[in-house]
Amino acid sequence: MKTIDTRELAAWLDATLQAPRFKDYCPNGLQVEGKPRVGHIITGVTASEALIRAAIERNADAVLVHHGWFWKNEDPRVRGTRRTRLALMLAHDLNLFAYHLPLDAHPEWGNNAQLARVLGLTPERDDTGAPVTCGHGDLIWLGNAPDLGTLGALAARVQQRLGRQPLLIGDPDQPLRRVAWCTGGAQSMLADAIDAGADAYITGEASEPTYHLARETGTGFIGAGHHATERYGAQALGEAVAKHFGIRVEFIDIDNPV
């Protein structure tokens, strides 16, 4: 089986995702160092115990995820679930690579780019071909749903493609002109999408104020699930790694209804 140097893989991922330019809530890159060479990677959304055990069962050398560890303001002590996860990683010499905002933002393999692909959304592009964005860190993408005329049709497409019924706020018959989207827990950026002229905003979660802001501004809101909207970035990145390095990469979906 072909293998590559762990440091070479880390450098390629950091450079490809432009990790150093992001001010994030967690460290991006190689979070836990394991074997010096990698020939088999398991990708997934979150570095949960279930995903780690799946990687161990498959004799993987590394885990590559969107949601890693060591989040800002969380308890840094190594106990409980953190101890269990870390002990498993170290006992089996597994590398853990995690990319949060860099994977959201990547123009080809990122969560926003991949959600657009899955839902059939057409991103707006600037003169350089880059996606038109707005909001904190330019994380919100803007575009349209060319074959869907109403908010209700968009919600039905989300349910069909993502496999779960989304939260819908707004009139299903509302016409669509401009759609904004940002995967995961980006409900706090609804106001940015409204300021950008979006008729509808798709993200993963909703908070209590989300309902009132959407209703009072007449903006359609679709909460499609944090996990459900972010299943595709890590999968696409893993496929890119396999193609570039010629090593084995498997995506495992540990489903999460949130």
Q: Is 250 annotated in some ligand binding site?
A: no
Is 92 part of any known ligand binding site? no
Residue 100, annotated as binding a ligand: no
Query: To the nearest 10°, the Cα dihedral for 127, 131, 134, 138?
Result: -110
Is 33 known as a binding-site position?
A: no
CB atoms within 10 A of CB 217: 15
| Beta bridge mates, 175 | 150
Q: With 0-12 CB in 10 A as exposed, 13-18 as middle and 19+ as buried, what is 191?
A: middle
Element (H, E) at 113: helix 111-119
Cβ pair 181, 111 in contact under 8 A: no
Confirm or deny that 124 is annotated as ligand binding.
no
Instruction: Tell me if 245 sits within 8 A of 4, measured CB to CB.
Output: yes
Contact (CB, 8 A) for 171 and 151 = yes
Binding-site residues for a divalent metal cation sit at: 66-67, 104, 226, 230
Binding-site residues sit at: 66-67, 104, 226, 230
